[in-house]
Homo-oligomer: A and B are copies of this chain.
């Protein structure tokens, strides 16, 4: 398995964190960002300690992940036949401190996630199309033939 810093099409966008005496303001996505295409849905996935979920894949939907609470490892595996980074696997540890950014995952990439730490973590996703079970799938590691790079 090759390893590289960037799978083709995956984008990491630094986001503002504005601290004041009341708490922290955490940016996620604005319609006037140049990379914004369209709004489909925003939802949260609370991931419990010890949970690992891999692999998922969407045929049409782009994921835009941030982790505003807790910590989550997201791994991405590129099995796209025409991709210049085919066969590569990459992971990102999201959450504070140090990991508050937006991770954009285009369609047809396999991805999975693991809760890091011993408290529930919150994955927020702002997608370009609303959830449609017909375009998403969950595929086991055995079928894909690739293991999730587990944090120990």
Which residues in A have some Cβ–Cβ distance to B below 8 Å? 22-32, 38-48, 51, 53, 68-69, 115, 120, 122, 124, 126, 130-131
* Interface class of chain A by DSSP: strand
Q: A39 CA to B127 CA in the complex, in Å?
A: 12
What are the 7 tightest A-B residue pairs by CB atom distance, in nearest-first order? A39-B39, A26-B44, A23-B46, A30-B130, A30-B41, A24-B46, A28-B42
User: Is A41's CB under 8 angstroms from B29's CB?
Assistant: yes
Q: A31 CA to B140 CA in the complex, in Å?
A: 31
User: Is A31's CB under 8 angstroms from B122's CB?
Assistant: no
Q: A45 CA to B23 CA in the complex, in Å?
A: 7
Q: A94 CA to B115 CA in the complex, in Å?
A: 25
User: Is A48's CB under 8 angstroms from B22's CB?
Assistant: yes
User: Is A68's CB under 8 angstroms from B44's CB?
Assistant: yes
Shortest CB-to-CB span from A51 to chain B, Å, is 5
Q: A30 CA to B41 CA in the complex, in Å?
A: 4
User: Is A122's CB under 8 angstroms from B43's CB?
Assistant: no
